[in-house]
Amino acid sequence: MSRKLKDIDVEKFASSIKEAVKCIDSDDPLTLLHRYSQVIESTLDVHVFAPVKSRKSKGNHPNPWYTDVIHFERILRRKAERKYVKTGLEVDRQLFQSQSKRVIKLISHAETTFYKNKLSATDSKDLFNVIDKLISENQKKLPKSNSEVVLAERFGDFFHNKVSLIRRTLDNTSSGLNAFEEHHVPSRLIEFAPVSEEHVRSIIGKSKSTSCSLDPLQTWLLKSKPVLDALLPFITAIINSSIAKSCVPTSLKTALVIPLLKKPSLDCEILKNYRPVSNLEFIGKVLERVIARQITNYLQANDLHEPLQSAYKGQSTETALLKVKADIDSALDSNLGIKLYFFI
């Protein structure tokens, strides 16, 4: 069951949404979020847009560099193989070997060209993501199980118990706040401020176009100008009502969790070797970024950032390592080697 979203007339779709959301008559975030999903789904169900239809899935080839030319040459190779097996003639064997070499050469060239172009066109921010996809295929392994439901419940119980253990450990640990000096600031962040539509538009525009299956509308379509113009007042109302009520709707805290192996060499049958990767609704991510920006602005305005902060808009991790090495060298030069040894 799927919708053919690429065939949507974006202008008509946005116009229909705008008519449906003319009146925002609630200040409850739960009600607004339910209404938001309802409006999108009911509009998509209109025949002229993208009703849900059943269709046979052809499936996607696991290799993105796979082309129609390679597919055609593989068919020819298979025909040559069948002919050689049937006749056993030397000439047919040579034709089969020749076709096999051609297919191998095409695959090698297509794969090399695809990844060379992808790496050259990728900026430094996404470079590690591309490399990770190239070398982390083994991380998609899962433990053996006769039932996907049972396996999902095993993972769910394991991750839930892991989080519960961390919480109990934190509850039994003293805060240690007395060890820090009190930092006097001219103002305090007591509550979060409501945001404007343009502020929300800016955050959505800078967000990645990744989607979650929990989203009522795919992100690439939401970010198109006509649709975003139609939905922006609704999205802003959801965010501001969440801020005013100090409430994050449950659906925005519900995530699809994908277990991935921490290292390809680890045993895939042991659950503790997996890390959970959570995928949230896009509106929830926008709300997080709105709050994060206000907190960041407050920390910067009051000079509350750690001076030696590494990563996350601070120093680089390379600088952090150099700082640690410099401190160790300085300690050794000052005859503090014994103290340093006990510290390590």
pLDDT in tens, the chain (344 residues): 666 777 778 888 888 888 777 766 777 888 888 888 888 888 887 755 666 677 676 655 567 888 889 999 999 999 999 999 999 899 999 999 999 999 999 999 998 888 888 777 767 667 777 777 666 654 568 888 888 899 999 999 999 999 899 888 887 765 555 544 566 777 788 889 999 999 999 999 999 888 888 888 889 989 999 999 999 999 999 999 999 999 898 889 888 998 988 887 888 899 999 999 889 999 999 999 999 999 989 988 888 877 777 766 667 778 888 888 998 888 888 876 555 444 44
Output the pTM of the full model: 0.68
> HSE-up of 3 (CA within 13 Å, CB side)?
21
Task: Tell me if 14 sits within 8 A of 226, measured CB to CB.
Answer: yes
CA 102/CA 107 separation, integer angstroms: 9
Q: Contact at 8 Å (CB) between 32 and 234?
A: yes
Q: Tell me the average pLDDT of the chain.
A: 83
Q: What is the pLDDT of residue 72?
A: 93
* Closest of 139, 138, 167, 142 to residue 154, by C-alpha: 142
Q: Distance between CA 81 and CA 70 in Å, rounded?
A: 16
* pLDDT at site 48: 59
Residues ≥6 apart with Cβ < 8 Å to 46? 16
